[in-house]
Structure 1
Amino acid sequence: MQSFPSSLLNGYRNFMSGRYVDERERYRSLAEEGQSPTTLVIACSDSRSAPETIFDAGPGELFVIRNVANMVPPHEPDGQFHATSAALEFGVKVLKVRDIVVMGHGRCGGIRAALDTTSAPLSDGDFIGKWMGLLKPATEQIQNNDVMTPAERQTALERISIRNSLNNLRSFPDIQMLEESGNLALHGAWFDISTGELWVMDAKTGDFTRPEV
């Protein structure tokens, strides 16, 4: 029987002697009263782009959904298993979040795989290939753009993916209704791993700009 990863145990010891000591009362309160985050973040599973770290969030402050390439599928109540949609439903209906942020990032492996059809696994039968198929129309347009460099194509699709996910969010009836009534706001953001820069999407134009911080 293999032992539990020592790096995780060491990290846990540091957590218990450090952050947990500082925030013990908050954890106890969260345990007794439950969570009530006002912001839901849909982020990539990439280990380099954790929203809690990027936004310096404490326990109970963010409800986070992470998957490959931070994507939201369209609303499909077909009786199948939909993890992202289920988490969205919980955040919107149960936690009643006020903001949803779709946050992409630079050098995303899922986006790179979508653009490079020679990468494995990317057949239609593989999980990654089928998942990234959500971006197929945009991917095909960018792949055929010879004016752009590979890095430019990658960044472009990373940001297009964010806009695509925001559009898919609006296919969920409850989300559309709450946004139209002013009780829910949808946002897009893109994080550059190499520089630490955060780019925020303009809701009207779709352009990404750096906010003043």
Structure 2
Amino acid sequence: MAHQKVDIELRVLHVRAETPQHLSVVFERPRGFDYEAGDWIDLAFADELRGGRTYSLSSSPTEPDLMITFKEGQSEVKRALAGAAPGDRMRITAYGNDYEFQLAEHRDSVLIAGGVGVAPFRSMMKEMVDARRSGSLELVYLNGTDDFLFKDELDAWQAELPDARIDYIVTKGLKRKDRERMLREVISVTAHLYYVAGSEGMIESTEALLDTMGVDHDDIRIDSFGGY
């Protein structure tokens, strides 16, 4: 469910580098702010800035603070986020979820991430660990280099979840046919639900591949990261 036209103040706690290209902004969690793993927020700034304002939360509802993670860029919004200082104020103007992009308990799930598209999946896996939720989970994580976001955390959580598996795929230098072959080798075709998060092009090609593998389109959930 999406909550529109809200006005919730955020206070920056700190900005940290995750990889040479990715940053996370950690906010103090507003009192009484509840959300679900997989949710996004729309941000507003004191000044009118150009650029994408919608970010999936990479923090889990079980954690005390809020966090967004993004790839550095030249838009005014991304520069403002990268340069944020402790104590800076921003606002949430909308938040929630689209297309049922939330894990279903007791269901086998395949999560397919492209680059920073792993952000909502970090939230989901962390919640599964903290809430001791059941269900088989397979994360297929595609990235241009071997600088995989949150890799240490993801590996630790995989060890805590008895029915979890992570496949890391470095896509640099891979031709499309090779990439598709590798995905066919690791993606289960017997899962209940499939979640795909990444750039629009990555989502389009992955949906097409899942279709050829016999996955029902109604079982696919997407989270498109614009301004990749």
TM-score by length of 2: 0.28
Structure having the larger proportion of residues in strand: 2
Structure having the larger proportion of residues in helix: 1
CA radius of gyration, larger in: 1
